[in-house]
Structure 1
Amino acid sequence: MGKTIDDPAVMRYDTDGRPVYCRRMAPPGLATAAQLRTERLSVAGLAPAAWLYYTRLGYRTCALYKRAQARPIRPLTTRQRDALAEDRVCAAVWAAEVLADPNTVFLDTETTGLLGGPEPSYAVEIAVVDVSGAPLLDTLLNPRRSIPQEAIAKHQITDSMVADAPTFSEVLPELTRVLEGRRVIIYNSEFDRGILTTELERHYRVHDPFGASSLWSTHPAACQWMATLRTECAMQRYAEWHGDWDEKRQRYRWQRLDGDHRARGDCQAIVPRLRVMASTAFTVAAA
């Protein structure tokens, strides 16, 4: 039997008896890893003491740790600081090269949800813009399934808006033409490449059903299309330039794009971020 809930801030208890607190109702002695980082405290080696319930594209919980058990973050060594500085220089130079490349375009999708969920996620909007921000492709897409409310809350694209929109299959020839020979920059390329692979898999399963080797492997035509797509991740590069090192995960922390959650707007939001990075390419290197 589970514990009796006698605290109005507690929603339930997990299987180990740890409380799951309602949003913004956790006691002051507990904090998330992100909150503790702002206090220069590390949760490395600590097990969660409780959980915090919140909603973001679905119902989720976030780990809470005891503030008294968190340890001060050790200062970086000279060698570590030099390595971070070198990564920042490389990221700044990369941004300058991207902006100077006439073949550069930016791609973004809005979707029915996140990758790895119980149901496949499909695109409801796709955009490709050039370095000046001019759209080369900008269209809603009919995902041929209902858009969950959690996704609508993020990008404001509803079922009625996409009812008469083209399908991905109908847009695919134009998308292929626009991206051919291009250097494609994506903010979180792993996500958008996953969405494109899902859409291509569905397309080729219908249009070339006998070309697939099995039901459990990606259609060869989808793999071939993706193999020709030359993408680079602006989120990874910006994280390197921003330099917020995550000691626990041994990588740089991702930084939000802060776009408008529409495909064209998010593409255009990448450009000024790269310009800021590129503006430091020589000053950072000379420091």
Structure 2
Amino acid sequence: MTITEPAQWEDLFTRDVDEQPVQFVRPADTDRPTWSVYEAAVYVGSVAAEWDGGRPLWRVQGNREAHRDLDDAIRCLRRPSSWTREREQVAAWARRLLADETLIAVDVETTGLENAYAVQIAAVDRRGTVVFNEYVQPNAPLEPAAVAVHGITPARLAQAPAFAELLPRLTNVFHGRVAVAYKMDFDRGVIERELLRHHGEAAAAEEWLARVRWEDAMVPYAVWKGLWSVKRGAYRNQPLGGPHDAVADARLLIVKLEQMAAAPSTSPW
């Protein structure tokens, strides 16, 4: 059942959120789009729908949050009591990163989603200034699904340098730095794959990677947003939301760090 179906707006309805049933009950003393929320017959909070010309906006009563997705409003209500403390820890982590003059935000666009090679590598400093941005000749096929995401075509890469040509400058930019990425294992893994192909041995690749301090922003950002998934038993990962251009996504990551570093309030919205 979707939130656009008429049955969704009845006085009493049930909706599965992360495979767990949630009961919605409209109070008897109102005809407004407001529902009390129950799980296993236990009251967990209230939500109210607002229209602003598009999809309904779901407000979680009791705080300042609003969500386009009703499921996210329920995930907000499911937060563990430790969330405030965990969010403060994330804020402190983000402040430490932004205070480090060596910080760079890194993003890599690739030939595909698995065992992929780089087609664009970018890094910006903590002020958003570009310190590295190059398209890369991958010497590997580009998957149509990847091209549909980032728009980098074989024609665009026809004159691009190979990774080996870029490696000396990449080394100068990365070594001795703190590199933060969104889903760090993916971006670091692409660079590792390029190094393995270049050097032909794992030891050389690991030695290069070890001279960078890697940080992942995906899990901290999920904690900061605080949308709890009972299915995963963890905060739900969020999309970065960038345009899938390596420079723009790296700059957006700096913006997200600045948001996380801001003094915690009762809500991140």
TM over 0.5: yes
Alignment coverage as a number of residue pairs: 206
Partner of 1:260, secondary structure, is: coil
CA distance in 1, matches of 2:94, 2:15: 31
Q: Structure 1 counterpart of 2:254, which letter?
A: V
| Contact 1:187/1:270, CA 8 A, preserved across alignment | yes
Q: What residue ranges of structure 2 are gaps of 5+ in the alignment?
A: 6-13, 22-37, 45-74
1:196 aligned onto 2:185: no
For 2:220, the equivalent position in structure 1 comes to 237
CA distance in 2, matches of 1:147, 1:259: 21
1:40 Cα deviation (Å)?
Answer: 6.3
For 1:152, the equivalent position in structure 2 comes to 147
1:81 Cα deviation (Å)?
Answer: 3.1
Which of 130, 133, 156 is residue 125 of structure 2 equivalent to?
Answer: 130
1:44 Cα deviation (Å)?
Answer: 5.4
Q: Structure 1 counterpart of 2:105, which letter?
A: F
Normalization by structure 1: what TM-score? 0.66
For 1:252, the equivalent position in structure 2 comes to 235
CA distance in 1, matches of 2:174, 2:128: 15
1:227 aligned onto 2:210: yes
Q: Structure 2 counterpart of 1:201, which letter?
A: L
CA distance in 2, matches of 1:241, 1:202: 37
CA distance in 2, matches of 1:246, 1:42: 6
Normalization by structure 2: what TM-score? 0.70
For 1:261, the equivalent position in structure 2 comes to 244
CA distance in 2, matches of 1:233, 1:132: 18
Which of 35, 41, 46 is residue 17 of structure 2 equivalent to?
Answer: 41
CA distance in 1, matches of 2:257, 2:205: 30
| Contact 1:124/1:142, CA 8 A, preserved across alignment | yes
Which of 155, 158, 164 is residue 159 of structure 2 equivalent to?
Answer: 164
Q: Structure 2 counterpart of 1:136, which letter?
A: V
Partner of 1:82, secondary structure, is: coil
1:146 Cα deviation (Å)?
Answer: 2.5
1:60-209 aligned at under 5 Å gives the runs 72=39, 75=44, 81-115=80-114, 120-205=115-200
CA distance in 2, matches of 1:39, 1:275: 35
| Contact 1:41/1:72, CA 8 A, preserved across alignment | no
Q: Structure 2 counterpart of 1:155, which letter?
A: H
1:284 Cα deviation (Å)?
Answer: 5.8
1:227 Cα deviation (Å)?
Answer: 2.2
Partner of 1:81, secondary structure, is: coil
| Contact 2:150/2:245, CA 8 A, preserved across alignment | yes
1:229 Cα deviation (Å)?
Answer: 2.1
| Contact 2:223/2:235, CA 8 A, preserved across alignment | yes
Q: Structure 2 counterpart of 1:179, which letter?
A: F
Deviation by residue 1:233-262 (Cα, 9 ceiling, x = unmatched): 111111111111222212211111111101
CA distance in 2, matches of 1:44, 1:193: 35
| Contact 2:111/2:143, CA 8 A, preserved across alignment | yes
1:277 Cα deviation (Å)?
Answer: 1.5
1:158 Cα deviation (Å)?
Answer: 0.4
Q: Pairwise CA RMSD of aligned residues? A: 2.7
Q: Structure 1 counterpart of 2:143, which letter?
A: P
Partner of 1:102, secondary structure, is: coil
CA distance in 2, matches of 1:125, 1:42: 35
